[in-house]
Amino acid sequence: MLRLKRAYAPRSPGDGRRVLVDRLWPRGLSKERLAIDEWMRDVAPSAALRRWFAHDPAKWLTFQRRYRRELEAHSDLVDRLAKYALEGGVTLIFSARNESLNDAVVLAAVVRRRMAHILGGRRRAAHAR
């Protein structure tokens, strides 16, 4: 199970492993209030890409393409998130105000594709036995 949640929303029992996927710490939140299990700064968009995008809806499609390209260099982190999701669930924590046009949405789509790839490999291995 893979979920997305704003950093300012309270922790809930169904969150599973909570991973902050922002490069910067969310403003005004203490470690206790954020209650994350891990902070993956390197899976976030580069500072240059984040500044260029600036949450401008007109740049959304290009942002997605560029961010996916950046994520290729961090396939190990994408794999780790996919495994967390398959093993017991993970919630990607982000601080963006816009809940539908942000990097966590793109990351979640990439992780879901990786999860499907892992599951497909497991099914093929089971059929080969």
Please write the tens of the pLDDT for every residue from 15-71.
Answer: 999 999 999 999 999 999 999 999 999 999 999 999 999 999 999 999 999 999 999
Is the Cβ–Cβ distance between 19 and 84 less than 8 Å? yes
Phi, psi of 94 (to 5 degrees): -140, 160
CB 4 within 8 Å of CB 111: no
**Would you state the pLDDT for residue 120?**
82
Q: Which of 77, 95, 105, 110 is nearest to 22 (CA)?
A: 95
Per the prediction, the chain carries an average pLDDT of 93
